[in-house]
Structure 1
């Protein structure tokens, strides 16, 4: 007897037969699985099913097991379904994402049938990037940000990214450095208050990019935290999570130039070139603030994480000192950080 997920895959693809092949990945904290299916009598040989099943017992790998964390994950899968259903079709080859074939919610389970990017020409995954590969990912982000510049995040997170302050009051409370804790809201205010906002991927780490063998193209997956925001959230997170300390310090300036060049080109293509100078001016100023904000999250979430190193610490603390000494342009000083750290999406 065919199980319900397999029947749904068959229905979504029009296949004569769908056969569960193998599990690609168990979702974070045991919230389901990503499975490849082999098809017979369909237009494509394989598809991917993201099957979300909420666990009875919470088991967070880092120990953050509470209802707030659970509700954030529940919301993230609802957002991802909305994105694949309503937003992903607006991306083209320059900001490649898997094509969505169908979505469904059955009770507490979510089902998303997606194009198999391996079969579509993006079979490679990377744990460490060359400078050229990092540039490819940043160009993807630039084109994504340009495409959705000014777009309201309807059905998505009002503020994209999984680590911004409003979603992380427990981690904020765990920060030991009072200077980081006290300036957290000012950092967040600067980013959420950006004049120029787009959609952000929200979890733009290396593991969420898929590479073509020729090295000339990249696609992105995992849109649980897509939503509105300043594109520097994605860029700071990508550089901070994808490069080691030496690479980040030595490549950062050049990679930022690559990103902004790609952003300008894409804005021109989408008829938004008149605002390119103003967007770049604002976002360049917000980049170190986004770096400091990501550091703020890390030191509260997991203070011994490998992403925390001397360069990230120096960069973040330089921003914090400037805030303490009178603020940064466009950022209010003396903000009460507890106000922003108590709400949660």
Structure 2
């Protein structure tokens, strides 16, 4: 028996020793992982915002000091963080590190003290076949990177946007993609956020209109220089292309995210809702096409050939609202951000959402409550004229007022079509009243129909 007891004690000791060795091995691996630091330039999906920020800043000769998560992206596709950094003053530091072609860096001067930046980290779920919403979001982040790396540096100082610092775009083993971008922190100069307020004050509205008219005016005469074969088409069309790397694409062919070609599901739901006041927008108006389809056909920028809005097409922001801007303390200077849906279009398409979602109603209408049908009021006209005059001055182009108003009214109808199929918010009483008035104008309808014929809508079984 004593021999058996001794054998059992020895077995217990060996078991304890084995467990201890396993624990030490795990701790050693963690220790090595912590101090080895993140590796440039890969960005596997499991990397944290801190690791990604460390890697990208190192490529700029900067040392990460802090990371604060500001918000998560829509549907859990990533996060936005505010990070701080200082110059790398290590004697052994050259200030630069090697990077692959997937990492782009700006030529911004090295800061001399702690600086604040914004990190946008995209870590989407695996690719979903034929999922338009998923594809739209992925493409939108790639479009935004292109804007900040290639187009934003061309803007003059009086049209401010955030400056690109560094970015990365990496394929993932699951077929998806991970992206990250560091840009300057706009709050350093423009400390007042629009946030989720329904409206801005009058000074801010005027400043926003001035920025938009300058932005649209700057790009208007430059649109012919864009290579349209590289423009990003509607999501489901884009995924069925010849497999061209999205990093070689530029901005959206059709700016914004509400246009009909990419909202056919919502349109079908509205067409099936015969109890909706706005169901007639989907009913046949001319031959087999509805008012909504006619308007969408006219407003659609063409990848090839000529279209009715060709001479007026510019680059639009695509998601103009108070949540996507900052202003100076006085409100007299404004800067927009969130360029996920920047692309070709009419400037008034940006204004339609802006007027509905962020302009105080008292700046647009004279009468309260808002009448059932409403023509253009003095306040609306004054704001549009402010934009129109500056747009022409910035671009050096001509824009007849009657044509401008016709474009504006089409943009209102198109924007209401989206809200009616998605959900109303903002100055909806004004928007609906204006569209009721517009749709009663038979001359307006005839003009839209004629332009749709010019756009080549006839002969098509459905919109592209």
Structure 1: give runs of 5+ residues left out of the alignment. Answer: 59-65, 268-272
Residue 295 (structure 1) aligned with residue 416 (structure 2): yes
Separation in 1 of the partners of 2:73 and 2:334? 22
Task: Tell me the secondary structure at the aligned position of residue 149 of structure 1.
Answer: helix
Tell me how far 1:167 sits from its aligned partner. Answer: 1.1
Shift of 1:139: 0.7
Mapped pair 1:117 → 2:117: no
Structure 2 residue aligned with 1:265: 393
Q: Residue 376 of structure 2 aligns with which residue?
A: none
- Counterpart check, 1:283 vs 2:347: no
- Who is 2:299 aligned against? 191
State the match for 1:331 in structure 2.
451
Matched residues in 1 for 2:251 and 2:414: separation? 22
Q: 1:54-92, CA deviations, whole angstroms, 9 ceiling, x for partnerless residues?
A: 13599xxxxxxx811111111111111111111010112
Once residues 139 and 243 of structure 1 are traced to their aligned partners in structure 2, the CA distance between those partners, rounded to angstroms, is 14
**More displaced stretch, 250-259 vs 155-164:** 250-259
**Secondary structure at the residue paired with 1:276?**
coil
SS at match of 2:252: coil
* Counterpart position of 1:171: 266
Does structure 1 residue 309 correspond to structure 2 residue 428? yes
The runs of at least 4 consecutive aligned structure 1 residues that moved more than 6 Å come to 333-338
Seen in structure 2, the aligned counterparts of structure 1 residues 75 and 259 have a Cα distance that, compared at 3 Å, is same
1:90 aligns to what?
A: 154
Residues 91-110 of structure 1: pairs in structure 2 closer than 5 A: 91-107=155-171, 108-110=177-179
- Asked which structure has the greater CA Rg, the reply is 2
Give 5+ residue unaligned stretches, structure 2.
1-33, 39-50, 88-109, 172-176, 232-249, 283-289, 301-307, 367-378
Contact residue 83 and residue 116 of structure 2 kept, 8 A: yes
Map 1:217-256 → 2, pairs under 5 A: 217-250=333-366, 251-256=379-384
1:192-226 alpha-carbon deviations (Å, 9 max, x no partner): 23131110011111111111113221111001000
**Residue 31 of structure 1 corresponds to which residue in structure 2?**
77
Secondary structure at the counterpart of residue 391 of structure 2 = helix
The CA deviation string for residues 160-207 of structure 1, in whole angstroms up to 9 with x for no partner, is: 111111111111112133321121111112222313111001111111
Q: Which residue of 1 aligns with 2:117?
A: 47
- State the shift of 1:335 in Å: 6.5
CA distance in structure 2 between the aligned counterparts of 1:325 and 1:137, rounded to whole angstroms: 29
Per the alignment, residue 61 of structure 1 pairs with: none
For 1:145-172, what per-residue CA distance to the aligned partner results, in whole angstroms no more than 9, with x for missing partners?
1110141365110111111111111111
When normalised by structure 2's length, the TM-score is 0.65
RMSD: 2.6
Q: How does 1:69-80 map to 2 (within 5 A)?
A: 69-80=133-144
Higher RCO (Cα < 8 Å, 6 or more apart): 1
Q: Which residue, 231, 252, 257 being the options, matches 1:162?
A: 257
1:214-251 per-position Cα deviation (integer Å, ceiling 9, x unaligned): 32211110010001111111111111111354443343
**In structure 1, distance between residues paired with 2:439 and 2:132:** 28
**Contact 2:203–2:332 (Cα < 8 Å) also in 1:** no
Asked whether 1:211 is paired with 2:290, we answer no
Partner Cα separation in structure 2 for residue 325 and residue 118 of structure 1: 44
Q: Distance in 2 between matches of 1:129 and 1:308?
A: 13
Whole-Å Cα distance in 1 between the matches of residues 86 and 159 of structure 2?
30
Q: Distance in 1 between matches of 2:167 and 2:411?
A: 33
In structure 1, C-alpha distance between the alignment counterparts of 2:421 and 2:193, rounded to whole Å: 29
